[in-house]
A and B are shown apart, each in its own frame.
Chain A
Amino acid sequence: MAKVSMTVNGAAASGEVEGRTLLVEFLRGPLGLTGTHVGCDTSQCGACVVHVNGEAVKACTMFAAEADGAEVRTIEGMANADGSLGVIQQAFQDHHGLQCGFCTPGMVMSAAALLKDNPKPTEAEVRKYLEGNICRCTGYHNIVKAIMAASGQDVSAIAAE
C-alpha cells in the first residue's frame, strides 16, 4: 500500500492504495465519486474519462499512484460554481444528448477536452474525436448536436428534435 495525494475538483484528496489500484477505482471507491463510470475492461468505452492536469484521460488506463500530485477533474466538478449546469452539460440536456446516462459523464468530459483544443469543431471533427466514447442509447445524433451547440454553433438546421 502506498499513500497518494491529489487535487480532485479543487479539493485535496488522499488515500492508501495498492499498486494495482486504478485511478477510476480510487475515485469511485475511497473518494465516493461514482459519477465516473466503468463500462469495459479494455480501455475502449470512454465511460471513465476524467481530466488529469487538464488532459482527457481514461481513468481505467492509469494507476491511482500515477496521479499522485495531479490535478484531477471529474464530472462532479463540471457544474458552475452556483451549482447550475455548465455550458456543455446544459447543451446535453437541451438537445437530449443522453438517455440512460451511463456514457454521459465520459461524453461530457471528452467534449470539454475537445472544445478546449478546438472551439468550433465541425460535425466530422466531433464524430472523429468521440471515437473512444461508446454510447449504446442515443445513436450519437443528439450528442454530436449538443457538442456543436455547446461550441456556440447554430444547430437548428440539423434534422429532428
Chain B
Amino acid sequence: MPKDHGIGASPKRREDVRFLTGRGKYTDDIALQRQTHAVFARSQVANGRIVNIDTTKAEAMPGVLAVFTGADFADVGGNPAGWLINSRDGEPMKEPKRPVLAHGKVRHVGDAYAAVIAETAEQARDAVEAIEAEIEELPAVTDMKAAVAGGALVHDEIGTNVCFDWGWIEDNRAATDAAIKAAPHVFTLELVNNRLVPNAMEPRASIGDYDPGTGDYTLYTTSQNPHLTRLLISAFVLGIPENKLRVIAPDVGGGFGSKIYHYGEEALVLAAAKKLGRPVRWTASRSESFLTDAHGRDHVTKIELACEEDGTFVAFRTETYANVGAYLSNFSTATPTFLHGTLMAGNYKVPNVYVNVKAVFTNTAPVDAYRGAGRPEATFSIERIIDMAARKLGIDPVEIRRRNFVQPDQFPFTSAAGLQYDTGNYDALMDKLGDLADLSGFEARRAASAAKGKLRGLGVNSYIEACGIAPSNLVGVLGSRVGLYDAATVRVNATGNISVMVGAHSHGQGHETAFPQVVADMLGIDESSIEIVHGDSSKIPFGMGTYGSRSLAVCGSAVVRATDKIIAKARKIAAHMLEASDADIEFKDGKFSVAGTDRSVGFGEVALKAYIPHNFPIEDIEPGLEETAFYDPANFTYPAGAYACEVEVDPETGVVSVERFTAVDDFGNVINPMIVAGQVHGGLAQGIGQALFEGCTYDENGQILSASYMDYTMPRADDVPFYTVDHSCQTPCTHNPLGVKGCGEAGAIGSPPTIVNAVVDALQRGGMSHVTHIDMPLTPARVWAAMQG
C-alpha cells in the first residue's frame, strides 16, 4: 500500500502551483526601482591581444550611464579554482587569473572585455556596438593534443597549456602496468566524451543592488548555491565583507551544474550598482549562454582493460585529456580527477586501476561539472570497453559484468581506485533489470524490427557513482579548498507551524515538498504546516548548495539532526509541563506523554510554551524552539544501477531511435518516489541527448559552431520514449540518518554507454562486425559512415 504522507509518499509538489499559474519569481522577473541594464561586449576571436578599447563614442550614446573595461577591475581579485590538484611530479596545478573582465588578452569567443550600463537594455546593446575595440587576433588552440604539443599559448604567463598531469593512484601505476603486461587479453579503446552545453532553460541572470545608506549589497542571481557565490565574491573577487553582501537565488530554472559557479557578470553588476547608486541587471541571451556558461565533459580517453580467459577483470588503465577551456571554472579541476578517476573501478572487484589525466587549457569556454560530472565520463569509458571485451571473448554482456561485480558480502568494499563503497547489491539490480526490461523477449522484438527492415540492438550497462558530495575531511585531503557539509535551521514558531531554513537550493528538485515529508514524519505533524526557506543568504544558515546529488543526503541529514535537537528540547519542556522526568517522556505521533500514563501534551502546546515561558524553568532551558545543525557526512554515498536500452537503426539512413529504456537504480531509501522517478527521467533524456544528439564543437580558429538551438540539437519530446524506471532495490546508505544516496545524476551517468552499446549491438547483429565503437553523438551521418566501414 503506497503511503499517503511522510517518508515514502508522493504528495503533489506544492511549488507547482506558482509555476503553473505564471507566478514563479525567477531572477529576470524581478524589477527594482530605478534599475539599469548591463550588456557585455564579447570577444569575437578566440585568442587575441587587446591593443586598445576606446569607449568614448559608446559613453556618449543615449541613455548610457557607464562603460566598464578590464582596466576597471585590474586591481581586484580573480575568480578562483576551488580544488587544488597536484601533478604526478608533485607540482601544483597552474592557476592563471580569471578576471571579472578580460584585460590584456581575450581567450575565447564570448570572453567579455567591456560592459555598458544604460537606462534600457536596447540602449546598452546599441552602445556596445559603438565600443571601438582593437584586438589583435592571435592563433588559437582548440584541440587538446595540439595544445599539449606546444600550440599557441592560452596563458602566456604560465608557459604551457597543461594545467596538471595527474596520476591516480600513482603508487598503483607499476602494478597496473605489470598486470596488463601479464594478462592473456588486453582490449584498448580510444573514445571521445563529447563536449556538451548544459542548457538549463532559464538563461543566467544577475541583478546587483547597493544601498548607500547602509553599505549593503544585494545580488539576485541564478545560482545553485547562494552562500558559495557570496564566499567567492567576498573572499576572492571583490572583497565585499560577507556580512555586507546578501545573495538571493530565487526561483531558478534548472542548473545541471552550470549555475554552481560564480561568473564575472555577477561581480560586474555589483560593482556597477555601487558606482551608479542604482540597481544594475543583466540577463543572458541564449547565444551568450552557449558562449559563456561552463560547458561539460570534453574528454579524450584511451582505456585498456586486461582480462583473464573467463572474463575476470585484471586491470583498467586510462589516459585522459580533459579540456578545461580558457579559464579554470570553480570545480573544473575536481571534475576530471576526483569525480572521475576515483570511480574508474566501477562496480567491479578489479584489483588494479590506474588513471592518468592531463587537464588542458584551450581557447574555448570554461568546462566544468555538468550533471554527473566526471562520473558519466568514467562510466562511459568502463562500460564501453567491457562491452567490447564481452563481444571479443564471446561472453554475454550481462554475464561478464556479473562475474566481476563486487558481491553483497564484500561491503564495505575498498575499490582499486581508492573509494570505500558502503553498500550495494549489483546482482539484484541486474536481476530486476532482466525482468523489467524483459531481456528474454528481446529476440522476438528484434525479429519484429527486422521484418520492418530495421536493425534492433540491445545495450546493457551498470554504473556506480559517488554522491552526496561530501565529506570535508576527505575532500580536504584531496585538494578541495572548501568544506562540503550542509546546514539547516528548524524554527518552530509559537503557533506550532515550522520554517525550515536549508542550505540546499531547489531549482527543480522539489525540496519544498520533499523536505517537509521528512520533518513531518519525525514530528508526527502535518506536512502542510512546514515551510521550506531556501536561496537567500540572509535567511538561511551557511550551506553549500545543491549539486552532486547531495541535497537530501547532506542537507536532508542536517534537517534530521536539527529536528532531533528540536525533539530533545521539546521533550524537556514537555517533561516540565507534565511534571515528570525527561527520561519518562515518550514522543509519538506529535504527542509527548508520560510513559505508562494517559498524561500528555501535544507538540503545538509545547511550542507555545517555549515562546510564552510563564512557569518555565529558565535556569535549565532557554525559551524558544529553534535549532540549527551542520552535517558533514563520513563518506560519499554510492548509488548504483543497471540500465537496458533497445534501439532501432535504419540501415538506409543511420537514424537511431530509442525504442525501450529501462533504468533500475539503487538510491537507498526513497523519500518521494514521484520526484525520484522524475529526476531519473530528466537524467535519461540528457544522457540520450549526449549519446545521440548533442555536441558542442569549435573550429580550429576557435569559432563555436554550435551556438544556438539551430545547430546544437536538444532532445525533444519525440526523440525519447516512455521510460521504465525502478528504485525498489534498496541498500540504504549506512552513514547518513535517512539512509539515502541521491538520485539527481544517475540517469545522465548510466544512459550514454547503454545507448552506444545498443547501437553497436544492432550493427554487429546486422552483420557489420567491423563496428566496435562510434563516438558520440551518434548522429545519422556518423552511424551511416560507421556502417560503410
B722 and A159 contact, CB distance less than 8 A: yes
Interface string of B450-477 (1 = CB under 8 A from A): 0000000000000000000000000000
Interface string of A104-135 (1 = CB under 8 A from B): 11001000000000000001101110110111
A137 and B508 contact, CB distance less than 8 A: yes
How many Å from the CB of B134 to the closest CB on chain A? 28
B685 and A140 contact, CB distance less than 8 A: yes
A159 and B201 contact, CB distance less than 8 A: no
The answer to whether A101 has its CB under 8 Å from any CB of chain B is: yes
Assuming the contacts A94-B12, A134-B201, asked whether A100 and B22 have C-beta atoms less than 8 A apart, the reply is no
Interface string of A44-70 (1 = CB under 8 A from B): 110100000000000000000000000
**Given A38-B283, A42-B286, A100-B253, 19 new contacts (CB under 8 A):** A28-B29, A35-B22, A37-B202, A39-B202, A44-B710, A93-B17, A94-B12, A98-B19, A101-B253, A101-B508, A105-B22, A127-B717, A135-B201, A135-B717, A137-B254, A138-B678, A140-B715, A161-B673, A161-B674
Q: Which B375-406 residues have C-beta < 8 A from chain A?
A: none
How many Å from the CB of A154 to the closest CB on chain B? 14
Assuming the contacts A33-B22, A99-B682, A102-B26, asked whether A93 and B674 have C-beta atoms less than 8 A apart, the reply is no
A102 and B674 contact, CB distance less than 8 A: no
How many Å from the CB of A42 to the closest CB on chain B? 5
B16 and A136 contact, CB distance less than 8 A: no
The answer to whether B510 has its CB under 8 Å from any CB of chain A is: yes
The answer to whether B23 has its CB under 8 Å from any CB of chain A is: yes
Smallest Cβ-Cβ distance to B716: which chain A residue: A131
Smallest Cβ-Cβ distance to A29: which chain B residue: B31
B710 contacts across to A, CB distance below 8 A: 42, 44
A142 and B21 contact, CB distance less than 8 A: no
The answer to whether B509 has its CB under 8 Å from any CB of chain A is: yes
Q: Which of B283, B681, B714 contacts A142 (CB 8 A)?
A: B681
B285 contacts across to A, CB distance below 8 A: 41
Q: Determine the distance from Cα of A31 to Cα of B331 in the docked complex, in whole angstroms.
A: 40
The answer to whether A158 has its CB under 8 Å from any CB of chain B is: yes
How many Å from the CB of A145 to the closest CB on chain B? 8
Interface centre among B22, B251, B709 (most CB of A within 10 A): B22
A103 and B10 contact, CB distance less than 8 A: no
Q: Which of A76, A102, A161 contacts B253 (CB 8 A)?
A: A102
- The 8 tightest CB contacts between A and B, nearest first, are A35-B22, A101-B19, A102-B253, A139-B685, A100-B508, A99-B508, A139-B681, A75-B22
Interface string of A18-44 (1 = CB under 8 A from B): 101000000010001111111111101
A128 and B16 contact, CB distance less than 8 A: no
The answer to whether B122 has its CB under 8 Å from any CB of chain A is: yes
Assuming the contacts A34-B22, A93-B20, asked whether A18 and B122 have C-beta atoms less than 8 A apart, the reply is yes
A98 and B717 contact, CB distance less than 8 A: no
The answer to whether B507 has its CB under 8 Å from any CB of chain A is: yes
A36 contacts across to B, CB distance below 8 A: 22
Q: Determine the distance from Cα of A142 to Cα of B725 in the docked complex, in whole angstroms.
A: 12
Assuming the contacts A39-B201, A76-B22, asked whether A100 and B716 have C-beta atoms less than 8 A apart, the reply is no
A20 contacts across to B, CB distance below 8 A: 122
A44 and B709 contact, CB distance less than 8 A: yes
Interface SS, A side: loop
A96 and B19 contact, CB distance less than 8 A: no
Q: Which of B28, B251, B510, B682 contacts A139 (CB 8 A)?
A: B682
Smallest Cβ-Cβ distance to A140: which chain B residue: B717
Q: Which B193-218 residues have C-beta < 8 A from chain A?
A: 199-203
Q: Determine the distance from Cα of A94 to Cα of B714 in the docked complex, in whole angstroms.
A: 26
A74 and B22 contact, CB distance less than 8 A: yes
Interface centre among B25, B203, B686, B708 (most CB of A within 10 A): B203
Q: Determine the distance from Cα of A78 to Cα of B17 in the docked complex, in whole angstroms.
A: 12
Interface string of B505-531 (1 = CB under 8 A from A): 001111000000000000000000000
B31 contacts across to A, CB distance below 8 A: 32
Q: Which of B10, B674, B709, B722 contacts A144 (CB 8 A)?
A: B722
B709 contacts across to A, CB distance below 8 A: 40, 42, 44-45, 134
B708 contacts across to A, CB distance below 8 A: 40-42, 44
Q: Which B651-687 residues have C-beta < 8 A from chain A?
A: 673-678, 680-686
How many Å from the CB of A55 to the closest CB on chain B? 19
Interface centre among A40, A94, A100, A160 (most CB of B within 10 A): A100
A139 and B747 contact, CB distance less than 8 A: yes
How many Å from the CB of A64 to the closest CB on chain B? 13
B680 contacts across to A, CB distance below 8 A: 139
Chain A to chain B contacts (Cβ below 8 Å), 18 pairs: A34-B25, A37-B201, A39-B286, A93-B12, A93-B16, A96-B13, A96-B675, A104-B20, A128-B717, A130-B718, A136-B199, A136-B254, A136-B682, A136-B714, A138-B681, A140-B716, A141-B678, A144-B717
The answer to whether B542 has its CB under 8 Å from any CB of chain A is: no
B251 contacts across to A, CB distance below 8 A: 100-101
Interface string of B556-600 (1 = CB under 8 A from A): 000000000000000000000000000000000000000000000
B199 contacts across to A, CB distance below 8 A: 136
Q: Determine the distance from Cα of A131 to Cα of B714 in the docked complex, in whole angstroms.
A: 11
A124 contacts across to B, CB distance below 8 A: 718
Q: Determine the distance from Cα of A151 to Cα of B132 in the docked complex, in whole angstroms.
A: 57
Smallest Cβ-Cβ distance to A42: which chain B residue: B708
The answer to whether B287 has its CB under 8 Å from any CB of chain A is: yes
B723 contacts across to A, CB distance below 8 A: 139, 141, 159-160
A100 and B122 contact, CB distance less than 8 A: no
Q: Which B685-737 residues have C-beta < 8 A from chain A?
A: 685-686, 708-710, 714-718, 720, 722-726
How many Å from the CB of B716 to the closest CB on chain A? 6
B13 contacts across to A, CB distance below 8 A: 93, 96, 98
Interface centre among B253, B677, B709 (most CB of A within 10 A): B253
The answer to whether B238 has its CB under 8 Å from any CB of chain A is: no
A39 contacts across to B, CB distance below 8 A: 201-203, 253, 286
Smallest Cβ-Cβ distance to A33: which chain B residue: B22
Smallest Cβ-Cβ distance to A157: which chain B residue: B722
B21 and A89 contact, CB distance less than 8 A: yes
B29 contacts across to A, CB distance below 8 A: 28, 34
The answer to whether B24 has its CB under 8 Å from any CB of chain A is: yes
B200 contacts across to A, CB distance below 8 A: 100, 102, 136
The answer to whether B357 has its CB under 8 Å from any CB of chain A is: no
Assuming the contacts A92-B20, A130-B717, A131-B718, asked whether A160 and B682 have C-beta atoms less than 8 A apart, the reply is no
The answer to whether B15 has its CB under 8 Å from any CB of chain A is: yes
Smallest Cβ-Cβ distance to B16: which chain A residue: A93
Q: Which B1-46 residues have C-beta < 8 A from chain A?
A: 10, 12-13, 15-26, 28-29, 31
B24 contacts across to A, CB distance below 8 A: 35, 101-102
Q: Which of A41, A74, A85, A96 contacts B286 (CB 8 A)?
A: A41
A98 and B254 contact, CB distance less than 8 A: no
B19 contacts across to A, CB distance below 8 A: 98, 100-101, 104-105
Q: Determine the distance from Cα of A103 to Cα of B22 in the docked complex, in whole angstroms.
A: 11
B508 and A85 contact, CB distance less than 8 A: no
The answer to whether B316 has its CB under 8 Å from any CB of chain A is: no
A138 and B20 contact, CB distance less than 8 A: no
A139 and B202 contact, CB distance less than 8 A: no
Smallest Cβ-Cβ distance to B18: which chain A residue: A101
A99 and B20 contact, CB distance less than 8 A: no
B10 contacts across to A, CB distance below 8 A: 161
